[in-house]
Amino acid sequence: MAKIICVLYDDPVSGYPKTYARDDLPQPERYPDGQTLPTPKAIDFKPGTLLGSVSGELGLRKYLEANGHQLIVTSSKDGADSVLDRELHDAEIVISQPFWPAYMTAERIAKARKLKMIVTAGIGSDHTDLQAAMEHNVTVAEVTYCNSNSVAEHVVMTTLALVRNYIPSYKQVINGGWNIADCVSRSYDLESMNVGTVAAGRIGLRVLRLLKPFDVKLHYLDRHRLSASVEKELNLTHHTSLESLTKVCDVVTLNCPLHPETEHMINAKTLANFKRGAYLINTARGKLCDRDAIVAALESGQLAGYGGDVWFPQPAPADHPWRTMPHHGMTPHISGTSLSAQARYAAGTREILECYFEKRPIRDEYLIVQSGKLAGVGAHSYSAGNATKGSEEAARFNKK
């Protein structure tokens, strides 16, 4: 019998949904690069239901308990008295989501003597100390591509919301006002602007494709250059340095993974190279940016807006300055956990578990660390090391 700890975000404050806004859930047949959607042998949930919070359990309980395993589902993940820390000592598998991450630090991995696998129900394994996972021979896996398109849609939405000054305009209506001048004094057209992505992988490339119809000039920075045919199709300008991209772009979107090489890549020095009044969109990871440098850039006008769906740590303490800085479009890391995406990453998590228990290979697209080294997509996208330092601050969220 294996003990599995599944860390998920809390249920809705109004109670777990009994009905939903829609009756069906349109899904793609496969991903744009041809990769298939998750292929578990079965699922024990109805697609379109809330799976990512505690009561949803990622639809895993029936499958795991029928096979003799123990499943503990909790939202209590931070601090020494958390359920995660109390139960970790004999856990074989830990599952969590990027939106409410179980920070698997070196200390926690060392404590979990029976730990064999850490799974991200979603994309992004930076909440795990990958170096410690390699040293302890712990497999790390994630459901690659499951919510890439979901995040890309959020990037486009946030870009338009900031450039068109949508959020203050919406607040005018809520507050009973009608001052059009206030609304439009910071509103521009996206058309003809220069838009650049830092990383053009699954999410970044999707963002470029979605933005092309807006007649913008598209740019990208990536160490893996796209094919000549894609560059021609999208009329892309390739950059080899962050400075080269940011000095010409009106909108910059971050779509790269967090690891030691990218941590705090956006800081006071690099922000000084941005065009004055640029917009920065970050749906990747909060720690790509220096927290206080973002605040200062918005206050000085160097940035006209910051649209972030990601924070560090998560959940962010109530006094986190990104909650109150000017001209922001912050959300609590929801971009990749739409009900559509949940159906895919819950199925992908089930597929990973089936492979693990049946001793079948986990597909390369899902592997980050295996057999003591970076593996699969992890070898392509990550570097060895640790990006979890400071995650203990997440415990302050519950001390409001």
Q: Where are the domains of the chain?
A: 3-146+337-374, 148-323
Q: Mean pLDDT, to the nearest integer, of 374-383?
A: 90
pLDDT of residue 390: 80
Range in 196-200, 226-230, 360-364, 389-393 the model is least confident about: 389-393
Nearest-angstrom CA–CA distance, 191 and 216: 5
Q: Does pLDDT of 397 surpass 70?
A: yes
pLDDT in the model for residue 391:
81
pLDDT tens per residue across span 274-289: 999 999 999 999 999 9
Annotated catalytic residue, options 314, 328, 342, 350: 314
> What is the rounded average pLDDT of the residues 334-344?
98
Counting Cα atoms < 13 Å in the Cβ hemisphere of 201 gives: 16
Give the position of tokens 């922001």. 328
Confidence of residue 172 (pLDDT cuts 50, 70, 90): very high
Q: Which CATH number fits domain 148-323: 3.30.470.20, 3.40.50.720, 3.40.1190.20, 1.10.1040.50?
A: 3.40.50.720
**Which position has the token pair 């599995």?**
4
Evaluate whether 352 touches 368 at the Cβ level (below 8 Å).
no
Please determine, for residue 264, whether its predicted confidence score (pLDDT) is greater than 90: yes
Chain mean pLDDT for the chain: 96
Q: How confident is the model at residue 148 (pLDDT cuts 50, 70, 90)?
A: very high
Residue 175 appears among annotated catalytic residues: no
Distance between CA atoms of residues 121 and 139, nearest Å:
14
How confident is the model over 87-104, as pLDDT tens digits? 999 999 999 999 999 999
3-146+337-374 and 148-323 have identical folds: yes
Place of tokens 């970044």: 204
pLDDT one-digit tens code per residue, 304-334: 999 989 999 999 999 999 999 999 999 999 9
What one-letter code names the amino acid at 325? M
Instruction: Quote the pLDDT of residue 343.
Output: 98
Q: What is the pLDDT at residue 196?
A: 98
Residue, of 212 and 383, whose pLDDT is higher = 212
Nearest to 193 by CA among 170, 216, 225: 216
Q: Is residue 400 pLDDT above 60, yes or no? A: no
Q: Write down the pLDDT at residue 399.
A: 57
Percent of the chain with pLDDT over 70: 99
Q: What are phi and psi of 311, to 5 degrees?
A: -135, 170
pLDDT-derived band at 380 (thresholds 50, 70, 90) equals confident
Q: Are 133 and 262 in contact (CB under 8 A)?
A: no
Number of Cα atoms under 13 Å in the Cβ half of residue 181: 0
Please list the alpha-helical segments (H only) found in the chain: 61-66, 83-87, 106-111, 130-135, 148-163, 166-174, 180-184, 202-211, 228-234, 242-246, 268-271, 291-300, 339-357, 376-381
Q: Is 147 a catalytic residue?
A: yes
Distance CA 287, CA 311 (A): 7
Lowest mean pLDDT among 30-34, 55-59, 107-111, 393-397: 393-397
> Could you tell me the pLDDT band of residue 7, with boundaries at 50, 70 and 90?
very high
Check 69, 202, 285, 327 and give the catalytic one.
285
Give the count of beta carbons closer than 10 Å to the beta carbon of residue 337: 24
Which of 62, 115, 161 has the alpha carbon at shortest distance from 369? 115
Q: Which CATH fold topology does 3-146+337-374 show?
A: Rossmann fold (3.40.50)
- pLDDT per residue over 288-312, tens digit each? 999 999 999 999 999 999 998 999 9
Each residue's pLDDT tens digit, 62-85: 999 999 999 999 999 998 899 999
250 with 279: CB under 8 angstroms? yes
pLDDT reported for residue 356: 98
Could you report the per-residue pLDDT of 214-250, keeping only the tens digit for each? 999 999 999 899 999 999 999 999 999 999 999 999 9
Q: Given 333, 344, 350, 363, which residue is catalytic?
A: 333
| Catalytic residue selected from 69, 127, 131, 147 | 147
**Parallel, antiparallel or unpaired: strands 367-370 and 303-308:** unpaired
**Residue 398 reports pLDDT greater than 80:** no
Do 252 and 258 touch, CB atoms closer than 8 A? no
Query: Cis before residue 315, ω within 30 degrees of 0?
Result: yes
